[in-house]
Amino acid sequence: MTNELRIETGSWDELGEIAGHIRHRVFVIEQAVPEQEEWDGRDQECLHVLAWQDQRALGTARLLPDGHIGRVAVLAEARGLGVGAALMRATIEAARQSGHTEVELAAQTHALAFYERLGFSAWGEEFLDAGIPHRNMTLRLNPHC
């Protein structure tokens, strides 16, 4: 088994079955997010990103048309291996290529430092989403990179 990660981007029709499986494991099973909150009906309009190692998908994220990044999920056994950072870099680059000048996300508070290392800045008050504390974060993009 190699350690090299491969990033794949595509539509929900192309990647949804695998991305949905990862999100279900991380959010619904592990974090007890209610099914109706996880499946918000917006997946068809998003660009989806998967991180693969060999033949196994380890993580996913999505980019909404307005430049919001969401549903960033990495399987428990793959955390700490750089999967989340690789997913985020690919999603940020996709946003840049789409012409966005900034990206936003709602980060679970335990993950604030992870996003700060990627250049995001937190703003606003802490809030609950699906019973989990979050803060909004923004990253301004340099369109020339």
d(CA 86, CA 98): 18
The confidence score (pLDDT) of residue 100 equals: 96
pLDDT tens for the chain, 145 residues long, are: 457 899 999 999 999 999 999 999 999 999 999 998 999 999 999 999 999 999 999 999 999 999 999 999 999 999 999 999 999 999 999 999 999 999 999 999 999 999 999 999 999 999 999 999 999 999 999 755 5
Q: Residue 103 in contact with residue 141, Cβ under 8 Å?
A: yes
β partners of residue 93: none
For the entire predicted model, the pTM comes to 0.93
Place of tokens 């192309």: 14
Strand-strand pairing, 132-140 and 56-63: unpaired
Cα 104 from Cα 123, distance rounded (Å): 10
pLDDT at 1: 42
Cα–Cα distances in Å, from 3 out to 10, 13, 50, 77, 139?
23, 28, 16, 14, 28
The two structure tokens encoding residue 27: 């959010």
Distance in angstroms (rounded) separating the CA atoms of residues 53 and 61: 16
pLDDT value, residue 128:
94
15's tokens: 């990647």
Q: Which two tokens stand for residue 90?
A: 């690919």
Q: What is the pLDDT of residue 4?
A: 87
Q: Cα(131)–Cα(33) distance, rounded to whole angstroms?
A: 8
The pLDDT score that the predictor gives to residue 14 is 98
The whole-number pLDDT of residue 143 equals: 56
CA terminus-to-terminus distance, the chain: 32
CB distance 59 to 111 below 8 Å: no
Cα–Cα distance for residue pair 73/84, rounded to 1 Å: 8
